[in-house]
């Protein structure tokens, strides 16, 4: 069977998750990407990599049509390419996410409009096109302060920032537009509450909830995810509220990573990433739950049904920490990769930057210096193991 995988830059999810899973299944795999050399270096000699303008669904369909291997699946784990992959799969008559749902979840303004029209939730927001006065648009929309401004189709908290008043909103929009000329922004009311995620996997017939994470963020006004702790099961009422909103969006096929806040018993969506959770959380989930997570996701896109029970391991605990750069500069000292056992806690550290690399400060996950993944059976012991490991390490950045 032949699968075409659409990708932009190489990610751990693809190189450490989906590519090995495709090998285990025995799939023929072709990666279509606008960065072929990077993927050839990361994927291995057994994976075919072809250059393609993957942001253009017409180019994707044309590239696949010209191949001698007819597709059995078109798949992507990229936020930016879900609609393109869904349209290409639909063209070839293959199992896929609804392209309408992929578009609704990617476009943050469209997501808010659709949820409001469906009666699922209403968040006051304003769509800010280039040249739009953000303060006037926010006033016309009845937007309260503080509010949050973000790119309409952004990811990973990039250029997501809280504004305490009209003056700050105008200034933040000007800053973002200087980095993203022509981008459409969204300003929306700030939703208070604890931040969580819900991880789901469905085949259009059955949907499994894999638990989620409690997310700890950097101090305002930015929203950098610094720590995630595994939540095996959210309260039933909260899970039902989130699933109901996902149903309203039509997001129930394949993997879905949903971020939401809980305030006074009410769950409100922050964003829906219609793919598997990233930043090595998916790798941790597969290990923690002891299920072939990546194989399940690929098999769904091949048209196979999920089992009624996944057989996920219970009684588990986990945490991920992301040491972050706090300034621009060159990384001059950092720990190496490590795999440790601290009693019954298994801990892995993976660097995300190489010593000698210079980076600007982004206020996003691009500031991550590394990731610590720890799993065990008791959250307290997991937390202590991570804290002790981090306290013993040293990262130095030279301006």
Give pLDDT tens digits along the chain (399 positions).
Answer: 999 999 999 999 999 999 999 999 999 999 999 999 999 999 988 899 999 999 999 999 999 999 988 999 999 999 999 999 999 999 999 999 999 999 999 999 999 999 999 999 999 999 999 999 999 999 999 999 999 999 999 887 889 999 999 999 999 999 999 999 999 999 999 999 999 999 999 999 999 999 999 999 999 999 999 999 999 999 999 999 999 999 999 999 999 999 999 999 999 999 999 999 999 999 999 999 999 999 999 999 999 999 999 999 999 999 999 999 999 999 999 999 999 999 999 999 999 999 999 999 998 889 999 999 999 999 999 999 999 999 999 999 999
Q: What is the pLDDT of residue 108?
A: 96
Per-residue pLDDT tens over the stretch 55-76: 999 999 999 999 988 999 999 9
Q: What pLDDT does 45 receive?
A: 84
Ordered alpha helix ranges (H), the chain? 12, 19-25, 36-43, 57-65, 82-91, 99-106, 108-117, 134-140, 166-179, 236-249, 281-289, 293-301, 379-391
151: nearest Cα among 113, 186, 104, 179:
186
Taking alpha carbons only, the member of 147, 148, 150, 107 closest to residue 249 is 107
- What's the confidence (pLDDT) of residue 4? 97
Which pLDDT does position 51 carry in this prediction? 97
DSSP label of 270 = E
Nearest to 196 by CA among 146, 232, 143: 232
DSSP state, residue 257: E
- Residue pLDDT, tens place only, 94-112: 999 999 999 999 999 999 9
Contact 58, 88 (CB under 8 A): no
Q: Supply the pLDDT for residue 68.
A: 83
306's tokens: 């999920």
Instruction: State residue 349 phi and psi, 5-degree precision.
Output: -120, 135
Does the pTM surpass 0.85? The reply is yes
CA distance 47 to 64: 16
Q: Tokens for 74, please give them.
A: 């078109």
Residue 184 buriedness (CB in 10 A; 0-12 / 13-18 / 19+): middle
Q: 315: phi > 0 → left, psi -120 to 50 → alpha, else beta; which? A: left
Pull the structure tokens for residue 149. Answer: 């401004």
Give the CA distances from residue 352 to residues 40, 90, 321, 357, in Å, rounded to whole numbers and listed in that order.
Answer: 19, 36, 12, 11
Residues 6+ apart with CB under 8 A from 236: none
Cα 158 to the center of its chain, rounded Å: 12
As to burial, measured by CB atoms within 10 angstroms (0-12 exposed, 13-18 middle, 19+ buried), residue 117 is exposed
- Predicted local confidence at residue 155, as pLDDT: 82
Rounded distance between C-alpha atoms, residue 307 and residue 302, angstroms: 14
Measured at the CA of 95, the angle between CA 278 and CA 62, to 5 degrees, comes to: 90
- DSSP SS3 for 374: strand
Sign of CA dihedral 92, 39, 294, 86: negative
Dihedral over alpha carbons 258, 261, 266, 268 (to 10 degrees): -50
- 170: Cα within 13 Å, side-chain hemisphere: 6
């Amino acid at each position: 069977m032949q699968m075409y995988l659409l990708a932009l830059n190489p990610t751990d999810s693809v190189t450490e998750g989906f590519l090995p899973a495709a090998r285990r299944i025995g799939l023929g795999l072709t990666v279509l990407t606008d960065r072929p050399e990077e993927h050839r270096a990361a994927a291995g000699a057994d994976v075919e990599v072809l250059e393609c303008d993957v942001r253009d669904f017409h180019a994707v369909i044309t590239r696949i049509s010209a191949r001698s291997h007819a597709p059995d699946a078109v798949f992507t784990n990229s936020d930016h390419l879900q609609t393109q992959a869904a349209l290409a799969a639909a063209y070839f008559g293959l199992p896929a996410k609804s392209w309408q749902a992929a578009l609704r979840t990617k476009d943050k303004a469209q997501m808010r409009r659709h949820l409001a029209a469906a009666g699922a939730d209403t968040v006051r927001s304003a769509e800010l096109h280039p040249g739009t006065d953000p303060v006037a648009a926010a006033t016309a929309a009845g937007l309260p302060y503080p509010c949050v401004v973000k790119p309409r189709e952004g990811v990973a908290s990039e250029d997501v920032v809280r504004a305490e008043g009209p003056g700050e909103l105008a200034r933040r929009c000007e800053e973002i537009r200087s980095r993203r000329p022509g981008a459409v922004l969204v300003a929306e009311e700030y939703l208070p509450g604890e931040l969580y995620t819900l991880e789901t996997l469905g085949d259009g017939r059955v949907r499994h909830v894999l638990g989620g994470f409690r997310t700890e963020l950097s101090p305002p006004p930015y929203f950098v995810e610094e720590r995630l702790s595994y939540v095996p099961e959210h309260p039933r009422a909260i899970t039902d509220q989130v699933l109901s909103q996902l149903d309203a969006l039509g997001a129930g096929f394949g993997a879905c990573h949903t971020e939401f806040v809980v305030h006074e018993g009410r769950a409100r969506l922050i964003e829906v990433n219609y793919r598997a959770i990233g930043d090595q959380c998916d790798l941790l989930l597969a290990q923690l739950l002891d299920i072939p997570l990546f194989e399940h996701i690929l098999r769904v896109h091949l048209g196979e049904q999920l089992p009624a029970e996944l057989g996920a391991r219970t009684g588990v605990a986990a945490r991920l920490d992301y040491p972050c750069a706090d300034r621009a500069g060159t990384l001059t000292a950092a720990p190496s990769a490590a795999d440790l056992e601290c009693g019954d806690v298994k801990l892995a550290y993976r660097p995300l930057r190489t010593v000698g690399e210079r980076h600007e400060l982004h206020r996003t996950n691009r500031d991550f210096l590394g990731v610590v993944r720890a799993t065990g059976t008791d959250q307290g012991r997991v937390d202590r193991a991570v804290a002790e490991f981090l306290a013993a390490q040293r990262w130095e950045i030279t301006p």
